[in-house]
Amino acid sequence: DGGITQSPKYLFRKEGQNVTLSCEQNLNHDAMYWYRQDPGQGLRLIYYSQIVNDFQKGDIAEGYSVSREKKESFPLTVTSAQKNPTAFYLCASSRQGGTEAFFGQGTRLTVV
């Protein structure tokens, strides 16, 4: 199973705290992506990275930050500036050129 792993599966945080979601892949993919999945809104792109040490904002980057120090890893930090952080977060990876994207199992973040 896998190739792309997200952890943890469930995460609870208090309002005002930053939290980091992990995403690791062993598929040797150059490109990695973070999406937020909300009911009725589909998948919305937060950040994406085509190569190590480079990343681009997606449609809803405000309140989020990422890093890409290693090819295998693309962690997402949900900061206290994100107004509505409770959501299901999906990480994906693909070969360069926008071929098939492989998804992780997702992390459900609940901020209380």
Partner 1 sequence: AQRVTQPEKLLSVFKGAPVELKCNYSYSGSPELFWYVQYSRQRLQLLLRHISRESIKGFTADLNKGETSFHLKKPFAQEEDSAMYYCALSDRNQFYFGTGTSLTVIP
Residues that bind partner 1 (CB under 8 A): 33, 35, 40-45, 48, 50, 56, 58, 90, 92, 94, 97-101, 103-106
**H helix intervals, the chain:** none
Residue closer to partner 1 by CB (options 52, 80) is 52
Residue closer to partner 1 by CB (options 15, 100) is 100
Q: How far is the CB of 69 from partner 1 (least distance, A)?
A: 21
Q: How far is the CB of 21 from partner 1 (least distance, A)?
A: 15
Alpha-carbon distance of 98 to 88, in angstroms, equals 23
Q: How far is CA 79 from CA 39, 57, 62, 83, 104, in A?
A: 22, 15, 9, 9, 21
Alpha-carbon distance of 3 to 111, in angstroms, equals 28
Residue closer to partner 1 by CB (options 47, 85) is 47
